[in-house]
Amino acid sequence: MAVQAVPTKGNLMNTKKSLVLAKTGYELLDRKRNILIREMMTLIDHANAIQQKIDSAYEEAYIALQTANVTNGFCEDISNSIPYEDSLKLDSRSVMGVEIPILTIGEHQQHDFLHYGLRTTNSAIDKVYNKFSEVKYLTVELAEIENSVYRLADSIKKTQKRANALKNIMIPKFEETVKFISDALDEKDREEFSRLKVIKKKKQKDAAFKKAKEESKEQSA
């Protein structure tokens, strides 16, 4: 990895600060990734449990519908009397900066009236209505969980990329730059020390020569 940095003390201090910041950033990203993974695994377990319930609920609902069709004739006209569901609401919560959807739907309510007449229907229709209502609530819950898992997985992937970039690229780059500048400054200090020693020896030699010359003149006089 090529290092392009002027070996100065200012650059060394700035690079060390960048290195500390990169390491801190990696630790935070790693912590965020672990939290998101734990949250996602919890939701996946919940989704598996809901999926089993919803599969069973759909099976029971369609069996009930077949029974109702047999005992009441085809129930298309009766189904048209059931109002559309319009109580679905979307909200969200944040998990480490990831927006997780929250779906809510009107709770089960006991109505004082039926949407279909009792004279032309039997209890099989009531069972169909209850079973498909159960399917509706389970479907909303499963949709919320699956969408949450998708968003968490996408965020985990992006977080992993950023963490890998810091760990495998930026941190080694800053460490190599710190080493390069430190080695260059140490070498410069050694050169300066050697130069000062040479200058000191030369001054001592010149002083000794000057002293010897003065002593020679005094003896000649």
pTM check: above 0.85 = no
Name the helix (H) or strand (E) containing 94. strand 89-95
pLDDT for position 81: 64
Residue 116 DSSP symbol:
S
Considering only CA atoms, which of 81, 74, 96 is closest in space to residue 28?
A: 96
Whether 142 contacts 44, CB under 8 Å: no
Token pair for 23? 């390491």
pLDDT for position 199: 78
User: Could you report the per-residue pLDDT of 1-18, keeping only the tens digit for each?
Assistant: 555 677 888 888 999 999
Token pair for 122? 């039997």
Whether 53 contacts 59, CB under 8 Å: no
User: Could you report the per-residue pLDDT of 134-189, keeping only the tens digit for each?
Assistant: 888 899 999 999 999 999 999 999 999 999 999 999 999 999 999 988 888 888 87
Average pLDDT over residues 24-51: 92
